[in-house]
C-alpha cells in the first residue's frame, strides 16, 4: 500500500461540509471573548451536521492539531480528550488514618 494517496482516491476531507466555509471561522484568534465564543459556536454548528465529523476529530487527535475547530472540538477540548484517553484507569486510594485527625467511627463509615 502506498503512503501517498492516488489523486483519484477520495479522502474524508472531500466530504467535509466546511470545505465551502470561510476558513477563518474555524481558526479563532482566541476562545474566551464573547465574539470569539460566537465564532466557535458557529464553527461547531457546521461540524454538527458534517458527515465526516468523527474522521475529522480522529485525524486532529492523531496529529495533535494545536489550533482551530476540528471535528466539532476546540484545541482545549482535544487536549482533554487526549489526556483522558491516555490516562490509566484510576483506582480509589485507601483511606489513611492519621492519629487524632478523626474519630474511629468516621473512619469506619468511610471504609
Residue spans of the domains in the chain: they are 13-86
Model pLDDT for residues 82-97, shown as the tens digit of each residue? 888 776 666 776 777 7
C-alpha separations of 105 from 88, 96, 109 in Å = 33, 14, 6
Model pLDDT for residues 56-85, shown as the tens digit of each residue? 999 999 998 999 999 999 999 999 998 887
| The pLDDT value given to residue 84 | 82
The contacts of residue 17 (CB under 8 Å, 6+ apart) are 46, 49, 50, 51
Cell of 47: 461540524
CA distance 68 to 96: 45
Residue numbers in the known binding site for [4Fe-4S] cluster are 18, 47, 50, 56
Its pTM surpasses 0.75: no
Residue numbers in the known binding site are 18, 47, 50, 56
Model pLDDT for residues 16-39, shown as the tens digit of each residue? 999 989 998 999 876 568 888 889
| The pLDDT value given to residue 89 | 65
Amino acid at each position: 500500500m502506498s503512503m501517498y494517496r492516488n489523486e483519484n482516491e477520495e479522502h474524508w476531507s472531500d466530504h467535509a461540509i466546511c470545505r465551502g466555509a470561510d476558513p477563518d471561522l474555524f481558526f479563532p484568534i482566541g476562545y474566551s471573548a464573547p465574539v470569539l465564543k460566537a465564532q466557535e459556536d458557529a464553527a461547531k454548528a457546521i461540524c454538527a451536521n458534517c458527515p465526516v465529523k468523527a474522521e475529522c476529530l480522529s485525524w486532529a487527535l492523531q496529529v495533535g492539531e494545536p489550533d482551530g475547530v476540528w471535528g466539532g472540538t476546540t484545541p482545549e477540548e482535544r487536549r482533554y480528550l487526549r489526556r483522558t484517553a491516555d490516562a490509566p484507569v484510576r483506582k480509589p486510594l485507601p483511606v489513611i488514618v492519621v492519629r487524632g485527625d478523626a474519630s474511629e467511627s468516621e473512619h469506619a463509615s468511610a471504609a
